[in-house]
Amino acid sequence: MKKTVLLLLFLLAACTTLPTSSEYLLRGDGYFQDGKPQQALKAYDRALELNPDNLTGYASRGAVYFFTGDYDRAEADFLHVLEKNPYQADTYTAYASTLAAKGDFQNALMVLNLALELKPGKPEIFFSRAGVYFMLGRLDEAVVDYTSVINLQPAAEVYNARGAVYLKMGKEDLAQQDFETAQTGRMPERLNVYSMID
């Protein structure tokens, strides 16, 4: 009896030291932030082996695939998340970014509009949609969306992006104003566009 109890206690102690799916997600996040995408992918893969229903794991792995240029795998992970939970506005944004990176701007625009229906005031969605409008040559709409971002959460890269649109429209004075505003240092340099998943 005493040996059985000791064996059970040993097994319980061993189980409590094994990393969980959530711990592998945290490791993956750390690796990715440290610029180690291959280690991040391994950690996310392990997290998903331990818990195949962890949608955050798929979304995070999709983001790594996106940033490493593996758009097909990124798209597959984002679509998996959306099939399981179609109310993930940030995943729609990530998926749309993947479509845009593959040159499918019309479908990217449609997906971003779905994201805005779910989260109408999210600046990252407006920023992504403005970029798609720019690529489609719909410059007035790009300016409107970049201005929406500036009103919600100004960042230097947004002023620079809107300045580039103004420049393409031939509005050099407005472009110069935006470029100068971006250089003031009175705002964050970047909008947190790629914090895709809440």
Cα 121 to its chain centre, rounded Å, is 16
Domains of the chain: 20-86 (1.25.40.10), 109-192 (1.25.40.10)
What pLDDT is attached to residue 19? 78
pTM: 0.82
Cα 36 to its chain centre, rounded Å, is 17
Q: CA-to-CA distance for 150 and 173, rounded, in angstroms? A: 18
Dihedral sign for Cα 124, 129, 130, 131, please.
positive
Which residue blocks in the chain are alpha helix, DSSP H? 2-16, 21-33, 37-50, 55-67, 71-84, 89-101, 105-118, 123-136, 139-152, 156-169, 172-182
Q: Which DSSP symbol is given to 155?
A: -
As a residue count, the chain comes to: 198
* Other beta carbons within 10 Å of 13: 9
What pLDDT is attached to residue 192? 72
pLDDT of the chain, 198 residues: tens digit per residue? 555 544 444 444 454 555 788 899 999 999 999 999 999 999 999 999 999 999 999 999 999 999 999 999 999 999 999 999 999 999 999 999 999 999 999 999 999 999 999 999 999 999 999 999 999 999 999 999 999 999 999 999 999 999 999 999 999 999 999 999 999 989 999 987 544 433
